[in-house]
C-alpha cells in the first residue's frame, strides 16, 4: 500500500459525466476524463485491507460479489498511486482481456464488495481501471503480440460478444488457429449493437478487434452458423468448436393488444439505431431515422437495457419517456437483508434517468407497476398502455404480484419498448447439433469444464449460464479457452 492513511485523507471522487442537457445533443461518450493527479489520489485510498474482497469473484444471493475475472485490484491501485502506469497496465492485462470494455460498462461489483465500503464510500476502482487501459492506448503500449509458435490446431468460435472475443483471444495466445463467426456485419455482439455509443464508443471495440486480427485471429462477419453455414460443417472443418452465441431470446409480454404496431423488443430498437448511426458516420447511410422522435415512449423493464432505451429515446427527441418497473423502489442505503459484501441494492439514477430528470423534471421510473393491456388506434398502432400498481405478497413460500385495486390508469404511448431481459439462447445451432439443454433452456455444459453433450463442442457465456454481466462473459471466455486448449493438447498453460 502506497499511503497508509490515504483512505482517511482523501474523499471518493468519480469521473464526472458531461452535463445531461449537453450530452443528449450527441452520441459521444458521456464521461469526462480524470487528470492523472486525481487518479493517483484515488489509488491512494486503497487500504491494503489484508482480505481484499474486491477481487474474490463469488456469487452471493444470486449476485456478483467482487470481480468475476479476479482483477488484481489492490496491486494496480498501488501502482497507479506510485505513478507506475506501465506496470499497472501489465498487471491489469494478466486477468482482463478487455479492460476498455469493463472499465466503461461494467456495474463494478468490485466496488460493491470493497472493504473500505463498510465504513466509507468505496475505492473508485472502475475509473482507475479504465484510465489504465486508456493511457496504454495513448502511450502506444497496446500493440499486437502474436504467438511465437502455432500448434496447427484449428478452432471455430461462434459469436463475437465478450465471451467469444475472450475465448478467441486466449486460444490464439495458446497458438491455435482461431476463426470467429459473427452473423452481424460488425464484430462485437452486444458490445457493438446492444450497448449504445454514448456508453461504449464503437471505436473502442473496433481498435481492439484490429489488434486481435493483427495477432492472427480471423473474423468472418455476416455468417450465421446454423443458417447460411451449417454447424456440422464446422465440426468437419475444425478440431474444436466453441459456442458463445449469447442469450438473445427476449422475454415477451403477451397481453391484449400485443400485435399492435410500434411495440418492439429493446434490441430491435437499440441495434438498428447503432447500425444506422455508424453507417451515417462512415458514409454508408444517407439519413438517420429517429424512431422515437416526437413520440410518447414507454419502456417496460428497469435494468440496464431499459436505461439505454431511455437515453436513446431522448436523443431521438421523444415527447416524453416513462419507464415501468415491477419491482419496488430500492432503499437509499443497504437494507438489513443486503449486507456487505453483497452487491448493494440501493436507489441510484443511471445516465438515462439523469437525462430524463434534467429534461422533464423527474426520474422516469414508476415502481411496482405492471401492464394489463395495450390500446391501439384505427391504423393498428399503439396509442396507450393500461397499467396498475401491484404489491408483492407471500403465498406458499413464494412472492407473487397482486393487483392494487383502484390503481388502474392509462399512459399515452406511441412507442413501447420491451426491455424485460432474455429467456435464453436461440435454438438453431442447438437443434442442429442435438445439444443437451438445462431446465432454463441454456446449453448444458458444466462450469469449469464447458464441454457440451457433443464431442469437441464447448459452450460459454450467456449461452451456457443465462443472461449475465460482461465480466462473467469474459470469465467464461477465458475459462472455456483453457479447457478447449486442454482438450486439444492434453494440458494447458492458459491462466
How buried is 375 (Cβ within 10 angstroms: 0-12 exposed, 13-18 middle, 19+ buried)? middle
Q: What pLDDT does residue 48 have?
A: 76
∠ CA 346-463-460, rounded to 5°: 100
Residue whose cell numbers read 452481424: 184
Residue 83: Cβ-neighbour burial (10 angstroms; 0-12, 13-18, 19+): middle
Q: How wide is the angle at C-alpha 192 spanned by C-alphas 232 and 172, nearest 5°?
A: 55
pLDDT for res 244: 98
Give CA–CA dist 238/243, Å, rounded. Answer: 13
pLDDT band at 1 (very low <50, low <70, confident <90, very high): low
The x, y and z cell numbers of residue 321, run together, are 419517456
Can you give the pLDDT at residue 2? 63
85-93 vs 73-81: helix axis angle to the nearest 10? 170
Residue 422 pLDDT more than 80? Answer: yes
Q: Classify 154-249+423-489 by CATH class.
A: alpha beta
Q: Residues 315-372: pLDDT tens digits?
A: 999 999 999 999 999 999 999 999 999 999 999 999 999 999 999 999 999 999 999 9
Give pLDDT tens digits for 289-306.
899 999 999 999 999 999
Region of 152 please: left (phi>0), alpha (psi -120 to 50) or beta. Answer: left
Task: Tell me what pLDDT residue 282 has.
Answer: 80
Average per-residue pLDDT for the chain: 95
Model confidence at 428: pLDDT above 70: yes
Question: Which residue pairs, CB below 8 angstroms and at least 24 apart, start in 404-408?
Answer: 408/372
Other residues' Cβ atoms within 10 Å of the Cβ of residue 50: 7
Question: What does pTM read for this prediction?
Answer: 0.95
Q: Is the peptide bond before 341 cis (omega within 30 degrees of 0)?
A: yes
96, three cell numbers:
482482463
Question: Which SS3 state, helix, strand or coil, does residue 301 take?
Answer: coil
The residues spanned by each domain of the chain are 6-139, 154-249+423-489, 252-420
Is there a contact between 98 and 162 (Cβ–Cβ < 8 Å)? yes
Task: State the CATH architecture for 6-139.
Answer: Orthogonal Bundle (1.10)
| pLDDT of amino acid 14 | 92
Question: Per-residue pLDDT averaged across 204-215, rounded?
Answer: 98
pLDDT at 49: 86
Residue 296: all three cell numbers together: 410518447
Q: How does pLDDT run across 103-135, given as a tens digit for each residue?
A: 999 999 999 999 999 999 999 999 999 999 999
Q: Which of 3.40.50.620, 3.50.50.60, 3.40.720.10, 3.40.50.300 would CATH assign to domain 252-420?
A: 3.50.50.60
Give yes or no for residue 101 having a pLDDT over 90: yes
pLDDT band at 34 (very low <50, low <70, confident <90, very high): confident
Q: What percent of the chain has pLDDT over 70?
A: 99
H or E element that contains 307:
helix 304-316
Residues 130-155, mean pLDDT to the nearest whole number:
97
Which value, to the nearest 10 degrees, does the dihedral of the CA atoms of residues 91, 94, 97, 102 take?
A: -50
Question: Cα–Cα distance between 133 and 130 in angstroms, integer?
Answer: 6
Supply the DSSP string of 355-372, one letter for each residue.
HHHHHHSS--EEESEEEE
Q: How many CA atoms lie within 13 A of 420 on its CB side?
A: 19
- pLDDT one-digit tens code per residue, 385-410: 999 999 999 988 899 999 999 999 99
pLDDT tens for each residue of 432-461: 999 999 999 999 999 999 999 999 999 999
Give which of 423, 474, 396, 427 is closest to 191, Cα–Cα. Answer: 474
Residue 261 has pLDDT above 90, yes or no: yes
Q: Would you state the cell numbers that stand for residue 395, as one nine-digit string?
A: 403465498
* Identical fold between 6-139 and 154-249+423-489: no
Residue 475 pLDDT > 80: yes
Query: Which residue carries 482482463 as its cell?
Result: 96
Amino acid at each position: 500500500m502506497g499511503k497508509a492513511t490515504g483512505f482517511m485523507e482523501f474523499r471518493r471522487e468519480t469521473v464526472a459525466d458531461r452535463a445531461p442537457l449537453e450530452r443528449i445533443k450527441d452520441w459521444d461518450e458521456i464521461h469526462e476524463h480524470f487528470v492523472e493527479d486525481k487518479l493517483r489520489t484515488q489509488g491512494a485510498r486503497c487500504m491494503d485491507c489484508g482480505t481484499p474482497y474486491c477481487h474474490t469473484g463469488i456469487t452471493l444471493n444470486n449476485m456478483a460479489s467482487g470481480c468475476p475475472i479476479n482483477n488484481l485490484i489492490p496491486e494496480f491501485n498501488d501502482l497507479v498511486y506510485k505513478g507506475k502506469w506501465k506496470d499497472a497496465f501489465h498487471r491489469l492485462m494478466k486477468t482482463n482481456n478487455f479492460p476498455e470494455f469493463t472499465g466503461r460498462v461494467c456495474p463494478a461489483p468490485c466496488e460493491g464488495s470493497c472493504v473500505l465500503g463498510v465504513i466509507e464510500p468505496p475505492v473508485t476502482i472502475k475509473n482507475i481501471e479504465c484510465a489504465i487501459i486508456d493511457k496504454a492506448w495513448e502511450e502506444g503500449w497496446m500493440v499486437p503480440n502474436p504467438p511465437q509458435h502455432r500448434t496447427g490446431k484449428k478452432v471455430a468460435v461462434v459469436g463475437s460478444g465478450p465471451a467469444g472475443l475472450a475465448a478467441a483471444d486466449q486460444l490464439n495466445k495458446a497458438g491455435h488457429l482461431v476463426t470467429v463467426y459473427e452473423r452481424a456485419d460488425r464484430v462485437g455482439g452486444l458490445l457493438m449493437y446492444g450497448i449504445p455509443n454514448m456508453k461504449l464508443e464503437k471505436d473502442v471495440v473496433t481498435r481492439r478487434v484490429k489488434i486481435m486480427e493483427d495477432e492472427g485471429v480471423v473474423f468472418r462477419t455476416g455468417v450465421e452458423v446454423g443458417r447460411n453455414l451449417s454447424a456440422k460443417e464446422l465440426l468437419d472443418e475444425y478440431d474444436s468448436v466453441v459456442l458463445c452465441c449469447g442469450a438473445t431470446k427476449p422475454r415477451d409480454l403477451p397481453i391484449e393488444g400485443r400485435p399492435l404496431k410500434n411495440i418492439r423488443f429493446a434490441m430491435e430498437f437499440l441495434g438498428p439505431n447503432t447500425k444506422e448511426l455508424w453507417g451515417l458516420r462512415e458514409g454508408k447511410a444517407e439519413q438517420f431515422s429517429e424512431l422515437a422522435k416526437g413520440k410518447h415512449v414507454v419502456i417496460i423493464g428497469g435494468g440496464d437495457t431499459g436505461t439505454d432505451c431511455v437515453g436513446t429515446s431522448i436523443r431521438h427527441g421523444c415527447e416524453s419517456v416513462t419507464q415501468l418497473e415491477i419491482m419496488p423502489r430500492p432503499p437509499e442505503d443497504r437494507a438489513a437483508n443486503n449486507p456487505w459484501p453483497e452487491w448493494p441494492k440501493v436507489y441510484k439514477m443511471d445516465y438515462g434517468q439523469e437525462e430524463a430528470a434534467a429534461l422533464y423534471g423527474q426520474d422516469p421510473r414508476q415502481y411496482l407497476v405492471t401492464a394489463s393491456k395495450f390500446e391501439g388506434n384505427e391504423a393498428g398502432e399503439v396509442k396507450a398502455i393500461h397499467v396498475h400498481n401491484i404489491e408483492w405478497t407471500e403465498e406458499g413460500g413464494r412472492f407473487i404480484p397482486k393487483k392494487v385495486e383502484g390503481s388502474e390508469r392509462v399512459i399515452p404511448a406511441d412507442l413501447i419498448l420491451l426491455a424485460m431481459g432474455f429467456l435464453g439462447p436461440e435454438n438453431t445451432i442447438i437443434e442442429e447439433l442435438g445439444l443437451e439443454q438445462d431446465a432454463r433452456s441454456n446449453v448444458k455444459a458444466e462450469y469449469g469444464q464447458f464441454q457440451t453433450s457433443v464431442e469437441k463442442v464447448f459452450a460459454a457465456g450467456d449461452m451456457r449460464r443465462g443472461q449475465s454481466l460482461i465480466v462473467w462473459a469474459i470469465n467464461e471466455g477465458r475459462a472455456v479457452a483453457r479447457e478447449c486448449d486442454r482438450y486439444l493438447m492434453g494440458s494447458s498453460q492458459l491462466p
